[in-house]
Each structure stands twice: as structure tokens, then as C-alpha cells.
Amino acid sequence: MKTKAYGAHASNKPLEAMDIERRQPGSHDVQIDIAYCGVCHSDLHTVRSEWAGTLYPCVPGHEIVGHVSAVGSEVTGFKVGDTVGVGCLVDSCQHCASCGEGLEQFCENGFTGTYNGKTPDAPGHTLGGYSQQIVVSDRFVLKIRHPEEQLAAVAPLLCAGITTYSPLRHWGAGPGKKVGIVGIGGLGHMGIKLAHAMGAHTVAFTTSESKRQDALDLGADEVVISKDPDDMARHAGSFDFILNTVAASHDLDAYTRLLKRDGTLCLVGVPEHAHPSPNVGTLIFGRRSIAGSLIGGIAETQEMLDFCAEHGIVADIEMIPAQKIDQAYDRMQRSDVRYRFVIDNASLAA
């Protein structure tokens, strides 16, 4: 089945309209008419081959929402017309220990990413959500319970939402806990909303005084200007957990010092240039940890979507047609978006 898409033929070429092939739905497949697709920093890094290993043509997009347009004969959980989502994963081995625990993102045999992942389907690698339709195994399709008018703003939950929800849950963000969120961008703005909804005392860290009011509006109880040493020092030894969404290389000690005994600083961004080595003494004297976290499994992604529907949480978005994607990437690199671009996939018909 041919479908219209937007992607790149090489790392140095702009994205352009293209026709791609989707497989006919198999017995366990769900075919989705994509309504909207969020734009993640990973899309930009992959399509421009900044992480190496990009296969072309490259069609990015792993924050996918839309409606079921066909189901295979064995599919029982979805029917035509259902509102659904697809995140960063479209397959995994289903038999390793991590898959057995519902942690497909840590599949020991390698998960299949929604784009740039190995697949028997043409052209040999997966093609993502900057397209009119996608066909996905029913195990990797999520139910969306938000009102239909919020659908575009739900899309970023599929990557930015789960990337922040999973560590907040894993490290017990909730009432009585003091939780920091570093960086107020696509990930961080979701982290603030989620930590606040979980009932944690939520502190936003930003380098920019101009984002103070935004952070408060997103649900932060306090805002700390991370460039102000006095402001930082006031919070020394007080945090249970800090979620650091900043991928650029920076001094991690500034945050480990703010942790209580047994507190954890969790990183979710991979820096292009390594962070300076953290001070080991700060970790030892206080049994503090530096940890990492990767998106979330399918069960937890569903839990996150349900939590967000129940609490009325969506991303703050700016909608664009697919034709504006390169300009959107340039603006993302300047952090000039509040806080996530979402493609209106109806624009692909043009």
C-alpha cells in the first residue's frame, strides 16, 4: 500500500514529499490513519545523520496519534475508528527477560524503533510518523482516552511524556517528595506538569529568567535560576530526585550537591560532548546516585496516557504543516518553541 510521507533521501538534503510503501496489515496488525505527529530532537539528529547509522530514505516521527482504519483478523483490542497512538517502539523480541517484564525499551535483543529500525518490510528499515498511514503490531499500539479536540497536543506524550513519566515513577515522585526538573523544553515542560500532577513539590531549574513565569504556569512550585550560585546554594542537600533533561555538556556536580542523602540525579539526554566527570566525593558522602532512563515500556506508556487523560495533561504545542519541517528543526536548535512542534498530517495530502 502506497502512502504519502515527508522525509529525506540523504543527510545533506532537506526533507521533501515522497511516496512510501506500507505492508498490508497481517493478522495481528493495526493500520492507522495518522492525524498528527510530534517533532522530537531525535528526529532531527537521525534525519541529518548526526548520530551516524541513518538509513535513507529516512522518514522520522515517533510521536504518532490517529485513528484505526483497518485491523488484522486476530486483533481483539482495537477496532476501526479507535483513537490510538504509537511511540518510539514498534517491535521487540518478546522473549527476553526485559520484554517479559514489559520493559521492551530494554529488549536484550534490540527493540525495533519506529523509524530507522531493522524490518523485513521495504525498504528494510522502519519509516516513521511523518506519513499518512502506518501499520503496527497490535502489541505496540496505545489507546488514547483524551477528548478528540486535544489529539494534536497528545502526540508529544508518546516520547516526551513517557521519557519524563517513567523516571518520575521509578524514583517515586509523589506527595512529600521534593523533585527538580532541569531544563524547560520539550521534555522538561512535560516533566514539570507530570511531577506536579503526581503531587511532588516541583522545582524547575532554568538558566533563563525569562522562563520563570512559564515554569510557574506549567505547575512548578518554585523556580531556581541555575546560573545564580546563591539561588542554587539555598537548595543544597534538599532534593529527593532531580530529572535532568539537558543534553548539552554541563557540570553535574551543581545538581548532585542539591540531592539529599540517597537522592538520585537522572539523565535522559545523551550529550554530544561528554559531561565533565562528576565529583565522586559528592556521591560517596551522601550515597547519592547519578542514573539514566530510556523512554518507557508499552504497559507504562499506556499507564502514562491514562494518567494524563485523567489529569487533563497534554503538551504545549505549535502546529505546523509538514512542508515547514526544516524551519521547525532550525527553531528547535535555537530552543525557539514552546514547547513542541506537531505536524498536521493532513498537510501531506497537498
For the record, the C-alpha cell of 158 comes out as 508518546
User: What is the pattern of x (binds Zn ion, CB under 5 A) and - over residues 273-312?
Assistant: ----------------------------------------
44 binds Zn ion, rule: CB under 5 A? no
Lay out the site mask for Zn ion across 228-267 (x = CB under 5 A, - = otherwise): ----------------------------------------
Nearest approach in angstroms of CB 42 to Zn ion is 4
User: In whole angstroms, what is the distance from residue 162 CA to residue 39 CA?
Assistant: 15
Q: How many CB atoms lie within 10 A of CB 118?
A: 13
**Does residue 93 belong to the site contacting Zn ion (CB under 5 A)?**
yes
Amino acid identity of 300? Answer: E
Query: Could you tell me which stretch among 33-41, 173-181, 253-261, 305-313 binds Zn ion (CB under 5 A)?
Result: 33-41
CB of 97 to Zn ion, least distance (A): 8
Cβ-based nearer residue to Zn ion, 256 or 301:
301
Q: Which residue has the cell 518510539?
A: 88
User: Distance between CA atoms of 138 and 77, rounded to whole angstroms?
Assistant: 8
Which segment (95-103, 177-185, 243-251, 303-311) binds Zn ion by CB under 5 A?
A: 95-103
Q: Between residue 149 and residue 178, which ones bind Zn ion under the rule CB under 5 A?
A: 159
**b (16+ CB within 10 A) / e for 229-262:** eeebeebeeebbbbbbbbbeebebbbbbbbbbee
Shorter beta-carbon distance to Zn ion: residue 93 or 225 = 93
Pairing of strands 222-225, 201-206: parallel
* DSSP string for residues in 118-175: B-SSTTSB---SSBSEEEEEGGG-EE--S-GGGHHHHGGGGTHHHHHHHHHHHTT-ST
CB of 73 to Zn ion, least distance (A): 25
Residues that bind Zn ion (CB under 5 A): 40, 42, 92-93, 96, 99, 107, 159
